Amino acid sequence: MSQSHIILVRHGEASAAWSAHPDPGLSELGSEQAAEAGKSLIDKISSYSLLSSPKKRAIETMEMMIKEKRCSFQLDSRFIEIPSDNINVDAKRDWLIKIFTTQIKELPEAVKEWRNNLIGWLNEVEGNVIVTTHFMVINTLVSYIVSNNKISYFHPDYASRTEIFLKNGEMTKLILGDDKKTVINL
């Protein structure tokens, strides 16, 4: 019998918009948000596997969260934000809005592949894990486990935590992160 507790932490507020900088770090507020998230997870940090998206704001979020415990973490490219490198900067906002409401079967192939990699990880994960990641990653995983036909499900706030409890590969409990109508910095 296997059990897993997965905590998905959305990165803190970024210092620059998604369309203005390819890999911004955290803003001052984002660093404060990440430190607060770490305080709320302090009892779990040293006993959970720690993973982060390779994007700077996710790495900095993890670094702020583990600062007091001085634990190590691994970068995992499966948790990177939704692939949009081939989208013109001026069109990214409209593209993302469209993706948010598109049925899964109609998603672009690169997005389907990215989604499938995340689902593959979820289906193979063992043990307890904390992941610092992005808005669309969290949405993709939650949307999958609740059998939603779109990639989107809710609006996790900066540095919020979404918790997934699995037993023998089946979800037993889901706790959504703070659902704020936050602006996605484009």
Domain ranges of the chain: 3-175
Taking each helix axis as running N to C, give the angle between helix 56-66 and helix 28-45, from 0 to 180 degrees, rounded to the nearest 10: 50
| pLDDT over 50 at 40, yes or no | yes
Q: How does pLDDT run across 153-172, given as a tens digit for each residue?
A: 999 999 999 999 999 888 99
Q: Which CATH architecture has domain 3-175?
A: 3-Layer(aba) Sandwich (3.40)
What does the block give as tokens for 51? 């993973």
| pLDDT over 90 at 117, yes or no | yes
Q: How does pLDDT run across 9-34, given as a tens digit for each residue?
A: 999 999 987 667 779 999 999 999 99
CA angle, 44 as apex, 43 and 47 as ends, to 5°? Answer: 120
Confidence (pLDDT) at 70: 78
Higher pLDDT, 54 or 94: 54
Q: Per DSSP, what are the bridge partners of residue 129?
A: 6, 49
- The continuous run of DSSP H or E covering 61 comes out as helix 56-66
Confidence (pLDDT) at 183: 46
β-pairing, 74-75 vs 3-10, is unpaired
Look over the chain and give the mean of its residue pLDDT values, rounded to a whole number: 90
Residue 2 binned pLDDT confidence (cut-offs 50, 70, 90): confident
